[in-house]
Structure 1
Amino acid sequence: MASDHSGDGSGDDDDYMNMTFEEKQPSRKAETLTQRKKRLAREAEIKGRPKSKTELAEEERKNTEAALKTTTLDTKNKGFKMMAALGYKPGSALGVSRSDASEAKDDRLLEPIGLEMKDSRSGIGADAEKKRKFREEMEAQADVEKKQKVEAGDFRERQQKEREEKKIEGQVWGAMKVCERLEEEEEEAERSTDNDADPARRKSTKPLKGVNVLWRGLVKQRAINDRDRRMRYDLQQSQVRSLEYDNPDEDKEDKMALGKKAETEEVDIDLDEDDEELDEFQTLEVPEKLAKLVAYLRKRWHYCFWCKSKYPDKEMEGCPGLTEEEHD
């Protein structure tokens, strides 16, 4: 009995595990006679209606694409059999392979040249000409863009160079003023020891060519500016008074204010005279001018233009060097 119950239980388990649930198919209503007539009439109308040009063109395009996608290397084709007899294998290129094919790119065709359908009314070669012109225009545009980039880079480089030159030029004028000041201090110290010297004549009346060529341009430019300023002042004053009138009550300062030269301070400078030495110095590059001025300051007065300091001896102990970079 026990065995029978166990057998029945295993049978129930098998039946439970092997149960299948069938999906209930949705009930489909039978087509009525009227519906069938309408469907047949609609299908007949669709079949009988002529296709439009657009539909015909689309159908032709699809058929053409399908035909072009089919391979022409049919093993049953007579031409393929002839090529196979000559040693052709599917997937290989036609022609004899070059000996240097491993080194150079093999440009032989693996497939026949594809057929390109014309969809325009242009003549033979017109599309190729359009492509050529378009390619040339793109190349020309690329050249223009490349040139613009190069010009932009050159412009930035030129601007940076101009800024650097202006900076160095300002340093040159500064070094000239330092040289002039140190020399004036030296001459003033020498004149102060001479008790017999006339105080009214202590100011130097050195001619232009007697000034060191390193800062002669500074002195000349200042003299030109003074002359132009006096000429403008004289032109204005000529409208209200005669320049030849000399008032004995006017002192030296009054005469200078009116644009008149005091005989005791008249400077012997010929600004229009040729100065080959100055012209030669002016042709030097700006960095070279600055280097000469810095070297002269160090040699004569033991003065470092970058330290802005004067040293007691030529050793100039504590000065980093000759250039601005060494003082950074």
Structure 2
Amino acid sequence: MAAGQEEEDDYMSDTFVNLQQDVKPGLAMVRRVKEEILKKDRALEMIQENKQKSKKEEEKERRETMLQSSLGSDNKGFALLQKMGYKEGRGLGKSGNGIVEPIPLQIKTGRGGIGHDAAEKRKAEETTERRKRMSQVKKRAEEFALNEYRLHVRQKKDQRQMEGDLRKSQLACQQLDTQKGMDAPQEAWYWLSTSVEDDEKEEEEESSEWDSKTLNTTEEKLLNLTSYLRRKYFYCVWCSMSYQDEEDLSDNCPGDCAADHY
């Protein structure tokens, strides 16, 4: 009884092992079949491509051969020309001044109608020209904006420079007038303000946006005050010194404005 059981167990074990071994060969066979099918498909595609390519090449070679070969007397058109007195190698026309070689043949390979290529070319040229004009307009606009910005920056710089020169002139005027025993300036704005309200007002004016009216006012004040200092004290705010007299001021001071001192 035990021996029979052992034989049955051995049979079942061998069968299970054979089933396990048959799995991989089956998958490999399916893979090989698929690869063979793909190879055949690729081969057919290549054959079709070669056929199409060979047809186009044959047509091109045949066309070039026909174009390079001259017409013979068997051609009806050429025979008609010979009857009218044409001789091979001469130009067309009664006096032989016409063309010798035939008009070159232009092969059309696309599917567009007659005039399509010319229209597309004209459209491309118009697009290029339009883009060129737009680029030029944009460039001019950028240059204009840049010049405006530079002008604005330069004017603000000049404004700050004049405001600084005006404050120095006011300080110098206050010191010189005080040395002369004056208790008050000739004009209210000739001296620097010492009140808190005036200082706050001055700071607000400096932080406010620049405008041409402020520029003219500051420029006029600076011109007026520097003229007063030069006339009364022979003092130049840009030289930061007082000269002995008017002649000394005229001979040794470069000028009566900031530009003369730079």
TM-score, normalised on structure 2?
Answer: 0.52
Change in CA separation of 1:177 and 1:298 when aligned onto 2, cut-off 3 Å: same
Structure 1 residues 121-270: aligned runs within 5 Å: 121-191=111-181, 204=184, 211=188, 223=197, 226=200
Aligned to 1:284: 216
Aligned to 1:308: 240
Q: SS of 2:216's equivalent?
A: coil
| Shift of residue 121, structure 1, vs aligned partner | 1.4
| Shift of residue 172, structure 1, vs aligned partner | 0.9
Q: SS of 2:245's equivalent?
A: coil
Question: Deviations for 1:91-127, whole angstroms, at most 9, x for unmatched residues?
Answer: 8xxxxxxxxxxxxxxxxxxx87643322221222222
| Shift of residue 168, structure 1, vs aligned partner | 1.1
Question: Deviations for 1:235-266, whole angstroms, at most 9, x for unmatched residues?
Answer: xxxxxxxxxxxxxxxxxxxxxxxxxxxxxxxx
Aligned to 1:86: 95
- The one-letter code of the counterpart of 1:86 is S
Distance 2:220 2:202 in 1: 30
Gaps of 5+ in 2: 1-49, 72-77, 204-210
- The one-letter code of the counterpart of 2:240 is K
| Shift of residue 159, structure 1, vs aligned partner | 3.6
| Shift of residue 137, structure 1, vs aligned partner | 1.9
Higher relative contact order (CA 8 A, sep 6+): 1
Q: SS of 1:132's equivalent?
A: helix
Change in CA separation of 1:300 and 1:205 when aligned onto 2, cut-off 3 Å: closer
Report if the CA contact (8 A) 2:239-2:253 is conserved.
yes
Count residues in correspondence.
190
Is 1:52 the equivalent of 2:77? no
Change in CA separation of 1:320 and 1:191 when aligned onto 2, cut-off 3 Å: closer
Change in CA separation of 1:327 and 1:293 when aligned onto 2, cut-off 3 Å: same
Question: Deviations for 1:282-312, whole angstroms, at most 9, x for unmatched residues?
Answer: 4639878766665555444433343233322
Aligned to 2:41: none
Q: SS of 2:246's equivalent?
A: coil
Report if the CA contact (8 A) 1:294-1:304 is conserved.
yes
Aligned to 1:118: 108
| Shift of residue 160, structure 1, vs aligned partner | 3.1
- The one-letter code of the counterpart of 1:318 is N
Report if the CA contact (8 A) 1:172-1:293 is conserved.
no
Distance 1:293 1:87 in 2: 96
| Shift of residue 133, structure 1, vs aligned partner | 1.9
Q: SS of 1:162's equivalent?
A: helix
Distance 2:67 2:221 in 1: 80
State the identity %. Answer: 25
Distance 2:259 2:201 in 1: 40
| Shift of residue 65, structure 1, vs aligned partner | 4.5
Structure with greater proportional helix content: 2
Distance 1:228 1:310 in 2: 28
Aligned to 1:321: 255
Gaps of 5+ in 1: 1-50, 92-110, 193-201, 230-278
Change in CA separation of 1:301 and 1:228 when aligned onto 2, cut-off 3 Å: closer
Question: Deviations for 1:135-157, whole angstroms, at most 9, x for unmatched residues?
Answer: 12222222233334434433443
Distance 2:246 2:231 in 1: 7
| Shift of residue 166, structure 1, vs aligned partner | 2.3
Distance 1:165 1:181 in 2: 24
Distance 1:87 1:161 in 2: 73
TM-score, normalised on structure 1?
Answer: 0.43
Report if the CA contact (8 A) 2:162-2:222 is conserved.
yes
Report if the CA contact (8 A) 1:320-1:326 is conserved.
yes
Distance 2:70 2:222 in 1: 82
